[in-house]
Homo-oligomer: A and B are copies of this chain.
Amino acid sequence: MAMMPPRPLRTASEEIPSLVLRAALALMTEEGPEGLTVRALARRAGVAPMSIYNHFGGKDGVLDAIMVDGFALLATWADVTVDDARTTLVAGSMAYRDFALAHRSHYTVMFLHQFVGYVPAAETMYVAAKGFEILTGQVRRCTDVGVFPGRSYVDVAQQLWAAVHGYVALEILGINFASDRDRVFRDFVEAVITGLDAPLDDAT
């Protein structure tokens, strides 16, 4: 059989970003955050290491791209809008966890792993802040109709996010002793929302 060239000698410029991004996510999925090295990334994408610097400005640029991509994916959970504001919040939380578990590499870069020396670009921070605004909006819809009486919607958003993130973080880290992860999570979200909807206890 004829020896076909292992690969076109040069990768087209417009294909490089998507190839690198796909390779980065595949590498992280298979080997974890530590598997994401520039050399391995280039090898996996079938691209020269230099191309990563030409197109992303280095490893940090790749991480920024994963962040932005992840927030774009996550933003779609805002579409979960039901009539009832509170039900929307439950559905949103469920979708948040679904996203985190389905896109662990994204979630790891976004909220779990601190890559050494990586500081997100300003644009990345902006996208992240917009993501939080979506959540606060969902909560605000609730407070507008009288849910979470006596509480600030920003505080409630922070509290709900903390709860969901905490559950997901421990789950991804492999620290989950619950009997049925899905059910326990749903019960958890319901309980947190119920508790936040209860009147504030002012006792010290």
Contacts and interface: CB of A to CB of B under 8 A. Distances in A.
Interface of A: 32-34, 111-114, 116-117, 132, 151-152, 154-155, 157-159, 161-167, 169-170, 173, 176-179, 184, 187-188, 190-196, 198, 200-201
Contact of A117 (B34, B161, B162, B170): B34
Given A114-B112, A176-B158, A192 B192 contact: yes
Given A187-B200, A190-B195, A194-B195, 10 more contacts: A32-B114, A112-B114, A154-B178, A158-B178, A159-B187, A163-B192, A191-B192, A193-B195, A194-B194, A195-B195
Oligomeric state, in copies: 2
A32 to B, nearest CB: 8
Interface of A is mostly: helix
A33 B155 contact: no
